[in-house]
């Protein structure tokens, strides 16, 4: 077997390794995309409820009372 054919086979094998690695990377990206979408949809669903509850929580925790401190 000539060096050229041997090198050609090695490059083909290396190319296959990189192809499989790329498939795994794409699959990992899809998993992260689904996870991120779920997290964002959670905040999208419960975001208005949390935002409407913030004034109440601020009132319980003391919050800023600028009008009372200036008296």
Q: How far is CA 9 from CA 13, 14, 15, 43, 61, in A?
A: 6, 9, 10, 51, 70
Sign for the CA dihedral angle at 63, 66, 70, 71 comes to: negative
Rounded to whole angstroms, the maximal C-alpha distance in the chain is 96
Enumerate the domain spans of the chain.
20-44
Q: Is the pTM of this model over 0.75?
A: no
- What would the pLDDT profile of 5-64 be if each residue is shown by its tens digit? 999 999 999 999 999 999 999 999 999 999 988 887 776 777 777 777 777 777 777 656
d(CA 62, CA 10): 70
Residue 71 or 3, more confident: 3
Residue 42 or 65, more confident: 42
Confidence of residue 3 (pLDDT cuts 50, 70, 90): very high
């Amino acid at each position: 077997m000539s060096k050229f054919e041997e090198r050609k086979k090695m490059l083909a094998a290396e190319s296959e390794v990189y192809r499989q690695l790329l498939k795994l990377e794409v699959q990992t990206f899809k998993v992260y995309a689904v996870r991120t979408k779920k997290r964002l949809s959670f905040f999208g669903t419960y975001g208005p409820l949390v935002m409407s509850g913030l004034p109440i929580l601020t009132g319980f925790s003391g919050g800023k009372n600028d009008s009372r401190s200036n008296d």
